[in-house]
Structure 1
Amino acid sequence: MQVFINDKAFECVHGTTLTEVLESNAILTDNVAIAVDFNVIPRPDWGKTVLQDGCKIIIIKAIQGG
């Protein structure tokens, strides 16, 4: 199946969790917020969030400024 992370296509198998797709694609997760199909997923739920074909994952990196 195919999922999209920040509009880039990634292949994964059915039943893949959000954590698994991030790890298998070496995506850094420090200081980020993640939404799947426009729903923010709390970090403790990443491993329980099973992705579906065509999911749109948005990763937003927090930065500090002043």
Structure 2
Amino acid sequence: MVIFINDEKNNVSDGALLSDVITTLNLQTKGLAIAVNNAIVQQQNWQSTPLKENDEVLIISATKGG
């Protein structure tokens, strides 16, 4: 199925969870904020958040500096 991650089209398997996307992208979870369809998903819910066709996932990573 197709989802959009930071406005880029991506194919993921049907029934994919948000945590599957994080693993596939090899992301470090520290300092990571994620929203699905403009709703923030708390980190404790990533493993239980299913994704659906055409979902929009926004991933923001905090960085050091000013």
Residue of structure 2 in register with 1:51 after alignment:
51
Residue of structure 2 in register with 1:35 after alignment:
35
Provide structure 2 residue ranges, at least 5 long, that are not aligned to the other structure: none
How high is the sequence identity, in percent, across the aligned residues? 32
State TM-score, norm by structure 2. Answer: 0.86
Residue of structure 2 in register with 1:19 after alignment:
19
Whole-angstrom CA distance in 2 between matches of 1:29 and 1:4? 19
Deviations 1:33-56 (A, max 9, x none): 100000000000000000000000
Stretches of 4+ aligned residues off by more than 4 angstroms: none
Deviation at 1:14, TM superposition (A): 1.3
Provide structure 1 residue ranges, at least 5 long, that are not aligned to the other structure: none
Deviation at 1:65, TM superposition (A): 4.2
Could you say what secondary structure the match of 2:22 adopts?
helix
Note if 1:3 corresponds to 2:35.
no
Structure 2 CA distance for partners of 1:27 and 1:4, relative to 1, 3 Å: farther
Could you say what secondary structure the match of 1:44 adopts?
helix
Deviation at 1:23, TM superposition (A): 0.9
